[in-house]
Amino acid sequence: MFASVIVDIPSKSVNQVFDYRVPSGMEGLIQVGHRVLVPFGPRTIQGYVMSLDETTDFDPARIKEIARTLDIEPVLTEEMITIAMYLADYYVDQYISVIETILPAALKANYKKVLRLADSYTQEAENALAQVSNGSEVEIKRLDPDALKTLSPYLKSGDIREETVITQHTKRKMALAVHSLKQSDVDLSRAKKQQELYDVIDASSEPVFVRDLVNDGFSNALINTLHKKGLIAKVEAEMERDPYSDRVFTSDPPKVLNSEQQHAYDRITSSMDAQEAKTFLLHGITGSGKTEVYLQVIQKVLDEGKTAIMLVPEIALTPQMVNRFKRRFGDDVAVLHSGLSHGEKYDEWRKIKEGRARVSVGARSSIFAPFQNVGAIIVDEEHETTYKQGDRPMYHATEVAKFRSRYHDCPLILGTATPSLETFARSERGVYERLELTMRAGTKVLPEISIVDMSEEHRTGNTSIISGTLEAGIRQRIEKGEQTVLLLNRRGYSNFQICQSCGYVPMCPNCDISLTYHKSNRSLMCHYCGYESAVHRTCDNCQSDEVTFRGTGTEKVEEILRDMFDTEVVRMDNDTTRRKGMHEKLLDHFEQAEVPILLGTQMIAKGLDYPKVTLVGVLNADTMLNLPDFRANEKTYQLLTQVSGRAGRHELSGEVIFQTYNPTHYAIQLAMENDYRSFYEKEMAFRRLARYSPYYFHVLFTVSSEDIRKCLKATTHIHDTLVQEVSDQSIIVGPSPSPLERINRQYRFQIMLKYKREPELLKMLNNLDEHYHEAYRTEGISLRIDVDPLVIM
């Protein structure tokens, strides 16, 4: 028996399967998807079994044996192996990179080189090793040069050998527990507390954690007394890391669907009954009850003994969505997102793998939840760019969802109020079935939206970022005890520092971007590479003291709001939500303490549902319009529409105010009118004229190097390759500097390929990737190939 194995080496030169012999004692034990230890060159490394076969194309005498297996049950299903191979090929990446993305980080191997005594060794070797270590082995990287020199003779003689120890990144969490020894003649009538403790332990079919007993009021001394009497035994038991163990979720029964919701539910479930791999676009205005449709579809899935995957775009959305799912489905729900620790994610992943959870809720990577029998997949806010991974492998979660939908013959539901143009175009052509929800659930109506021209505000003498109209609206809500949500998609205190004498602006030394002022820690920061420097009160260029700050970020607006309204403000941006659990804590505080104002970046624009929020203000609706990106208008429309939907979602009516310097721009005007169809038609006309998606597919090539000449040389080579390899119908744009030409000391140039059909494209991309993989090693030139890019910055 031979196994084809992908080895844990992130290198293009070994991006293939290698054949290994399955030892006779392991035949039947090793399965497809197992992690194994295999010899590779002079070392032993981890690998993944991709297939098993009775024969091999190579000389059997030269094939090495698998050293051992690391699992009882395979960590990869056959479906996940198929997905890994598909994604690696489609997105031009290495198999091992995709496999490690699919699996939780806890399963990643840790490699440690140690020195150990050989099977036969001299007393001198043992003494020498004992001098530099506390045991029979020592980690090489912890030895100083003198210690290595001392051990060198014994390494040469073979008395001491070097070994690679491979351990799992995160292990199962163990804790001290006790269980009853079931003694028949227990008499603790004179020791009531001991009797009470024994009854608790004896009544449990599983070991009881000592920590839980102590929390319930039983002392360690009392536990030890029962142990000494031989009534209980102490054991190490696994303690599952449950991020929601301290939460109580009240039951949430299904709601009555309105006619549009019922029609959507019926169409989706009929596809489910027919076992069709059909994709639905659930196009519903904000507050139309899309989530209730999701919940009832999933209930049917569970009733049929199947499983369901629910994707949300951002961690900030997850708390409220998790609450709704936990209230409806209880312990059947596993949560997977980046806000959890490695251990928590590992335990949630195992709940799914072992069949103890049948529904997953999470962000992008939870599309890889290891369910066996998927009955429905839901992608909420399908238009969000966060579903596309920014680092390698640059997969799109929706593409993986389509793959899994086909694999399991189950429906895929793409839900949103503002579909991406690509998705809506497919629904227009009948590739997806579109289901419309045009009215808000219950008796609620859409909020009234108005536009404030900030140029006019300035002409009348108001230079504040808060317009007179918005200020009056906020004051009115505070008086009524209602709440306001304010959006400003720019964090920090001020955009930049400037000298009014010479015009000097402090720039990041690593990137072509000005430094942003953060008042909380009195520093200038780069939001791209993390560079930070102290604020100087004199100009670094001319030593003038006429230094000031320009522009406004969320930190400064928070200060303005506190001064203007003398009230508490909850601020949500990357600075305030950096620590674990802060998203949920801030939102809970906003709701429970009824804080009048929630201020934040785009993370607050979607998914939030609070009954007292009746006013939404967008402080600068133009932020995204000015981006050098062909999707800038689309992103602006989507953001404005989504944040508008936070107002008036319950009994109270809502109002929305857009502040802008471009009041006549169609993206802003049509967002005010909530007219997606008109926006779609107008934007599609521009896309057709400029030959962009969805009329063309795209591949973005980004070359980076510390040497700008190497960038120019590499992009010229890529351009020449494209000219030779692609057809005349395709369009090559560039080479040109990236919109941000330098990030983290790396110059960046890019080329955009627009194409409709290129049968040999994948082969060419792999050749370029392989060429520049070697160029990175020898010359420091990096090539990033982004298939179907969503961001061109």
* pLDDT of 318 over the 90 cut: no
Query: Are 310 and 378 in contact, with CB atoms under 8 Å apart?
Result: yes
Task: Give the confidence band of 591 by pLDDT, cuts at 50, 70, 90.
Answer: confident
pLDDT score at 171: 67
- Known binding-site residues for Zn(2+) equal 499, 502, 508, 511, 526, 529, 539, 542
**φ, ψ for residue 631, nearest 5 deg:** -95, 5
Task: Give the confidence band of 548 by pLDDT, cuts at 50, 70, 90.
Answer: confident
* CA 666 – CA 451 distance, rounded (Å): 12
| pLDDT (average), residues 179-190 | 80
- In the chain, the percentage of residues whose pLDDT exceeds 70 is 96
pLDDT score at 472: 94
User: Which CATH number applies to 2-108: 3.40.640.10, 3.40.1440.60, 3.40.50.300, 3.40.47.10?
Assistant: 3.40.1440.60
CATH architecture of 174-238: Orthogonal Bundle (1.10)
pLDDT score at 248: 59
Task: Give the confidence band of 684 by pLDDT, cuts at 50, 70, 90.
Answer: very high
pLDDT score at 358: 94
Q: Which residues of 168-194 are buried (b: 16+ CB within 10 A; e: fewer)?
A: bebeeeeeebbbbeeeeebebeeeeeb
Topology (CATH level 3) of domain 448-491+553-686: Rossmann fold (3.40.50)
* pLDDT of 688 over the 90 cut: yes
* pLDDT of 520 over the 80 cut: no
CATH architecture of 110-168: 2-Layer Sandwich (3.30)
Helix (H) or strand (E) holding 412: strand 412-416
Q: Domain boundaries in the chain?
A: 2-108, 110-168, 174-238, 259-437, 448-491+553-686, 697-787
pLDDT score at 623: 82
- In the chain, the percentage of residues whose pLDDT exceeds 90 is 42
* pLDDT of 319 over the 90 cut: no
Top-level CATH class of 259-437? alpha beta
* pLDDT of 169 over the 70 cut: no
- Known binding-site residues equal 499, 502, 508, 511, 526, 529, 539, 542
pLDDT score at 535: 87
Per-residue pLDDT tens digits for 31-74: 999 989 898 888 888 899 999 998 888 888 889 999 888 887 88
Question: What integer best gives the mean pLDDT of the chain?
Answer: 87
Per-residue pLDDT tens digits for 690-718: 999 999 999 999 999 999 999 999 999 99
Across the beta sheet with 208-209, the strand order is: 208-209, 174-180, 232-238
Q: Respond yes or no on whether the N-terminal peptide bond of residue 694 is cis (omega within 30° of 0).
A: yes
Query: Are 490 and 538 in contact, with CB atoms under 8 Å apart?
Result: no
Helix (H) or strand (E) holding 260: helix 259-273
Per-residue pLDDT tens digits for 628-676: 788 999 999 999 999 888 888 777 889 999 999 999 999 999 999 999 9
Residue 158 DSSP class: T
pLDDT score at 720: 94
Task: Give the confidence band of 787 by pLDDT, cuts at 50, 70, 90.
Answer: very high
| pLDDT (average), residues 508-518 | 86
Sequence-distant (6+) residues with CB within 8 A of 759 are none
Per-residue pLDDT tens digits for 396-415: 999 999 999 999 999 999 99
* pLDDT of 442 over the 70 cut: no
pLDDT score at 168: 62
pLDDT score at 537: 84
pLDDT score at 659: 93
Task: Give the confidence band of 99 by pLDDT, cuts at 50, 70, 90.
Answer: very high
* pLDDT of 135 over the 70 cut: no
CATH architecture of 697-787: 2-Layer Sandwich (3.30)
Q: Which candidate, 609, 264, 607, 256, places its Cα nearest to that of 413?
A: 264
Distances (CA, A) of 175 to 107, 182, 239, 246: 21, 22, 6, 18
pLDDT score at 247: 63
pLDDT score at 776: 84
Per-residue pLDDT tens digits for 600-632: 888 888 777 788 999 999 998 888 887 778 899
pLDDT score at 304: 94
Task: Give the confidence band of 346 by pLDDT, cuts at 50, 70, 90.
Answer: confident
* CA 167 – CA 587 distance, rounded (Å): 39
**Fold identical between 110-168 and 697-787?**
yes
Helix (H) or strand (E) holding 468: helix 468-480
Per-residue pLDDT tens digits for 731-765: 999 899 988 888 888 999 999 999 999 988 999 99
| pLDDT (average), residues 530-554 | 86
Helix (H) or strand (E) holding 486: strand 483-487
